[in-house]
Every structure is written in C-alpha cells, then in structure tokens.
C-alpha cells in the first residue's frame, strides 16, 4: 500500500465522516457548518484528483456561497420563529436505512463495473485536447466551456439569471437589514476589509486573466468576487437597497448578453452560430460572465433587488 | 486503486444523502442531503472516465463545473421558496403524517401573511 493510497483513504474517510454529520447530525445549524467543511474537503479531493478548476469552484461556490446562503436562510427562519433552531423532526426509519444502503450499493456497482471495464479515454476528451492548440487556449476546460460547448454555458448563465428572478418573485419582504457585525464597532473589521478586499479583487482578476491557459476562469473569478460582496454586506460596507437600479440590472444580464453576442457574432461573418472567434471574444464573454455571476450571487445573499453604499 | 476508493466514497455519500433526504422533515436538511447526493455524482463523473495524460477528462470536468454553478442557483431558489413557505405556513417541513392539529395551532400562532403585503 503506497503513501498515495493511504492519503486517498484518509481523504475519503474525512469526506464520508463530514457527509454523515451533514446527513444525520442532530442540529440543523451544525449540519450547515459541516456542509461548509464538506465542501472544503471536496475541494481537497478535487486537487488530489488533478482537477484544480473544480477545486477552486467547489471551495468558492460549493462550500463558501452555498454555506452562506444556507446560513442566511437559517437566520431568517430563526428570526421568524426563534424555536426553529431547536425544532428538529428527524425520525429514524429502518426502511430509509434499507433504501439508502441499496442506493449506495447501486452507485458502487455502477462505478465499480465501469472501472472494471477496459477504460478508454473519452473520444470527446481526446478531441478537445487534439483541437485545443487550434484555438490558442491552454486550459482545456475553458476550451470546452466557451469554445466547444458554448451553448451549455449560455444555458447555465440563463439558469443563474432565472434563479435570481425566481427568488425575487417569491420573496415578498425584501430583507433590508442583513445582520452585520458593524454594530459591534470592532476596530479591526475595517482594517480586515481594507486588506482582504483588494486581495480578493486581485485574485478574481488574476483567475479571470489566466483562465484561458491555466486553472481559473469566469466562474472561479465571479465566485471570488461574490465572496467579497458577501464580506462587504456582512461588515455593513454595502447595504441591501429596496429598488433595483439600471446599472445593477445591466450587471445581472450582461453575462447572458455577452454569450448571446458570442452566438450571433459569427453569423455576421457568414459562419455557423457560436463559431470560435478567437481569444479576445472569449475574454470579453468571460469578463461579462464574471460580473454577472458576482452580482447575481451577491444579490442572492443580500436577498434584495439592489445594493447601496453603507458606512 | 485510488479510483475504486473514490467510487466507494461517492457511493457512501450518495447513500447518506438518500437517507438524509428520506428521514429529515426540515426542508433545509433535505436540501443539504440533495447537495450531498449531487457532490457524490460529481465525484463519480470525474473518477470513472479514464484519465488523459494523467489528468481527468476535460469534458466531464466542464460538465461538473457547470453543475456546481447550477446547484448553487437552484439551492438559492429553493431556499427562497422555503422561507416563503415558512412565512405562509409557520413551518418549513414536508411531513404528510404530522399531526394536523399541531400544524393548526402553529398556524394560528404565526399569522399567515396577507396576500396584499408585497415588496415595494
């Protein structure tokens, strides 16, 4: 048994242990905290598997933003009904255990059977790597997302926009006061923001810029920026605002708009829709997507249609 | 070897997610369980295909990246739905066999919001 296998087993045990805490732990809040830890362990496993793009995305979105959204929703429930934090109607059930074991067995059987077959590299993956030099890109994942399967990415951005519009429609009372820590007058908070914010913006821009050639890209950059948006909301530097503004609406749709332009622009040159137009067009689309992702996720956290400057 | 380990890990997490989805009454716990199942499938999707030049296949990687963003969008929407349901009903659970009297009493305590009370 080599050291690598030991590391894999340890990582796997950590992940399963954290998942068990999320799924069958007693308190809801604890489950949310463990979910954040689960996301970070997942990011470790992605980097162990040689998928740094996924590690970045899972650390920022899967662990960070999903956890933040869950906590803010939990906070709302507690504000409406303080007993919510204790109220747990989780009952054990022998039938559920049997079904869960069967489901796990099914997944294990499918996975292990697929592994036991003679594994050929996927044809699509090989073609991506073979065609990638023609596009001038260095990161095959950015290539798949924007050069080869751009329509998927367009639909994905549409889903993000739809989810935001949907949650605006069903949220009757805008939360105009995100719980901030500014009331405590902690002297170090503003310094912390002053240090972290420029670094976060720098990291976001770096991830966007290198995304064409190295791990990174619009999703990772957008979620890092959304993370700093959450930080600004929590420290009261940004506050939710009740009325949507034109600039915010533009930021929300610019990602979908840029991808639509990526679809339509080749038609002007007599090519097929979504034909590859070079690195410049991708950087343009990725910048727009980064802005949309960052603004949409920040507003989903704020639970409001717009933002305004705080103290 | 390490692929087989991660397949078993994914299976265990999927099973835990299914169990959590079935036994928990609270909607947020169901959402957490669904997210666990999703993570297990992402892991399976990356581990099972053959690696190319020692790295996972880029096509499933891009699919999973898309999936992560879709997951956070749908989770945010579901959480907004849950908060709305909670305001309306006074409980955030899906439990067909919960005592209706109990629900009724909770319902009275939390006045359901009037429909004309809309956001500005």
CB nearest B25 (choices: A90, A122, A128): A90
Instruction: Judge whether A171 is closer than 8 Å to chain B, CB to CB.
Output: yes
Gap between the Cα atoms of A212 and A136, Å rounded: 9
Q: How confident is the model at residue A280 (pLDDT cuts 50, 70, 90)?
A: confident
Instruction: Judge whether A31 is closer than 8 Å to chain B, CB to CB.
Output: yes
3-class secondary-structure state, position B98: coil
For residue A58, which residues of chain B lie inside 8 Å, CB to CB? 68
Q: How confident is the model at residue B16 (pLDDT cuts 50, 70, 90)?
A: very high
Provide mean pLDDT across the span B8-34: 92
Instruction: Judge whether A61 is closer than 8 Å to chain B, CB to CB.
Output: yes
Chain A: nearest CA to B54, how far in angstroms?
Answer: 8
Residue B46: domain span:
2-109
**Which residues does A172 contact at the CB level (< 8 Å), separation at least 6?**
B84, B87, B113, B117, B118, B119
What are the residue boundaries of the structural domains of chain A, listed by start? 1-85, 124-311
| Contact (CB<8Å) A38/B22 | no
pLDDT attached to residue B98: 53
CATH code for the domain in which residue B61 is found: 1.10.287.3510
The answer, as to whether pTM is greater than 0.80, is yes
pLDDT tens, residue by residue, A217-231 = 889 999 999 999 988
Is the model's pLDDT at B10 over the cut of 80? Answer: yes
pLDDT tens, residue by residue, A236-265 = 888 888 888 899 999 999 999 999 998 888
CB nearest A119 (choices: B8, B50, B98): B50
Number of domains in chain B: 1
Q: What is the 3-state secondary structure (H, E, C) of B18-85?
A: HHHHHHECEHHHHHHHHHHHHHHHHHHHHHCCCCECCECCHHHHHHHHHHHHHHHHHHHHHHHHHHHH
**Do the Cβ atoms of B15 and A100 come closer than 8 Å?**
yes
| Contacts with B, A 241-270, CB within 8 Å | 242-243
Burial per residue of B85-110, b for 16 or more beta-carbon CB atoms within 10 angstroms, e otherwise: bbbeebbbbeeeeeeeeeeeebeeee
For residue A159, which residues of chain B lie inside 8 Å, CB to CB? 69-70, 73-74
Instruction: Find the distance separating the first CA and the last CA of chain A, reported in whole Å.
Output: 58
Gap between the Cα atoms of A203 and A49, Å rounded: 23
Q: Which of B83, B109, B114 to mutate to test the interface with A (most CBs of A within 10 A)?
A: B83
Q: How confident is the model at residue B117 (pLDDT cuts 50, 70, 90)?
A: very low
Q: Within a domain: residue B68?
A: yes
Q: Within a domain: residue B67?
A: yes
**Residue bearing the bigger pLDDT, A262 or B103:** A262
Provide mean pLDDT across the span A103-119: 90
Gap between the Cα atoms of B89 and A118, Å rounded: 54
3-class secondary-structure state, position A236: coil
Share of chain A above pLDDT 70, in %: 93
**Residue bearing the bigger pLDDT, A76 or B99:** A76
Is the model's pLDDT at A40 over the cut of 90? Answer: yes
| Contact (CB<8Å) B50/A293 | no
Nearest to A66 by CA among A42, A44, A86, A90: A42
Q: Within a domain: residue B116?
A: no
């Amino acid at each position: 048994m080599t050291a690598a296998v030991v590391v894999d087993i340890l990582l796997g045990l950590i992940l399963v242990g954290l998942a068990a805490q999320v799924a069958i732990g007693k308190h809801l809040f604890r489950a949310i905290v463990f979910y954040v830890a689960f996301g970070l362990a997942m990011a470790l496993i992605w980097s162990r598997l040689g998928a740094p793009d996924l590690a970045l995305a899972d650390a920022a979105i899967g662990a960070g933003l999903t956890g933040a959204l869950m906590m803010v929703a939990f906070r709302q429930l507690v504000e409406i009904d303080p007993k919510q934090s204790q109220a747990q109607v989780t009952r054990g059930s022998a039938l559920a255990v049997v079904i869960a074991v069967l489901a796990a067995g099914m997944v294990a059987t499918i996975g292990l059977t697929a592994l036991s077959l003679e594994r050929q590299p996927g044809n699509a993956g090989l073609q991506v790597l073979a065609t990638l030099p023609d596009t001038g890109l260095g990161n095959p994942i950015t290539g798949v997302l924007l050069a080869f399967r751009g329509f998927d990415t367009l639909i994905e951005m549409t889903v993000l926009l739809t989810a935001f519009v949907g949650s605006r429609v069903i949220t009757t009372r805008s939360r105009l006061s995100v719980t901030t820590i500014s009331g405590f007058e902690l002297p170090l908070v503003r310094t912390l923001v002053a240090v972290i914010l420029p670094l976060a913006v720098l990291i976001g821009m770096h991830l966007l810029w290198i995304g064409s050639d190295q791990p990174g890209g619009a999703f990772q950059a957008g979620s890092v920026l959304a993370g700093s948006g959450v930080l600004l909301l929590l420290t009261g530097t940004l506050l939710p605002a009740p009325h949507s503004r034109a600039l915010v609406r533009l930021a929300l749709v610019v990602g979908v708009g840029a991808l639509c332009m990526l679809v339509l622009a080749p038609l002007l040159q007599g090519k097929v829709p979504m034909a590859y137009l070079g690195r410049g067009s991708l950087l343009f689309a990725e910048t727009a997507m980064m802005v949309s992702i960052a603004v949409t996720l920040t507003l989903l956290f704020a639970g409001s249609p717009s933002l305004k400057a705080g103290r | 070897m390490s692929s087989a380990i991660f397949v078993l890990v994914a299976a265990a997490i999927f099973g835990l997610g299914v169990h959590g989805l079935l036994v928990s009454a609270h909607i947020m716990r169901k959402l957490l369980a669904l997210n666990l199942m999703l993570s297990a499938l992402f892991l399976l999707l990356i581990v099972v295909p053959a690696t190319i030049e020692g790295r996972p296949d880029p096509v499933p990687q891009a699919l999973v990246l898309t999936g992560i963003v879709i997951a956070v969008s749908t989770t945010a929407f579901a959480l907004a739905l849950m908060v709305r349901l909670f305001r309306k009903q006074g409980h955030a659970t899906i439990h067909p066999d919960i005592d209706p009297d109990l629900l009724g009493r909770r319902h009275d305590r939390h006045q359901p919001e009037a429909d004309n009370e809309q956001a500005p």
